A and B are shown apart, each in its own frame.
Chain A
């Protein structure tokens, strides 16, 4: 069964304390790996798409990377406004639906 597992479930950081979130996947024929940010009571907001191992994408304090088995979302010098739940999702070959992980709930304390 295709699965996407995120760790940790929750992460608490001090402002400025860099860290990484992990997303491991066990899908064959990965077409794309996607990262989203979700604020409480709101819909997920698309952040990045990664298509092949070795690929990296950056946006402000966030950088996403991809290997053959997992993806990392690196957060550099986070600020309180980065607090949110971060979701990753994998898509198989073809136009198959996204398989979402359960998310990592990030809290950044000032």
Chain B
């Protein structure tokens, strides 16, 4: 089944403890992206990648890092999480950044 897989689905952590949210797609898509979704603010892009070793900042990149060493994987790294990063995170992919994205099921992150 074609899909984008994120892990974990739920995560509660403490301020300052580094964490990684993994994202993997099995559709050979070149484009991958991370979004966060907050009530009243909608979906906002954090980072995106047009291809392996190519990443760019989205609208809200502060406090996040990404890497794209392989085509299928696009992990999101929070080096020192803070409570304002509590949110619902989605990974998405598409063939070339054009057209409809396939989204993962989401990761609900709580930073206390």
Contact = CB atoms under 8 A, between A and B. Distances in A.
Contacts of A36: 100, 103
Nearest to B97: A95
Contacts of B92: 43
A41 interface: yes
B41 A49 contact: no
B96 A95 contact: yes
B87 interface: no
Main secondary structure on A side of the interface with B: strand
- Say which size band chain A's interface belongs to: 20 to 34
B76 interface: no
Interface of B: 4, 31, 33, 40-45, 48, 50, 58-59, 90, 92, 96-106, 108
B40 A97 contact: no
A107 B99 CA distance: 27
A100 B97 CA distance: 15
Contact of A102 (B41, B50, B100, B108): B41
Given A97-B48, A100-B43, A101-B42, A42 B105 contact: yes
B33 A46 contact: no
A43 B90 contact: yes
A24 B16 CA distance: 40
A32 B98 contact: yes
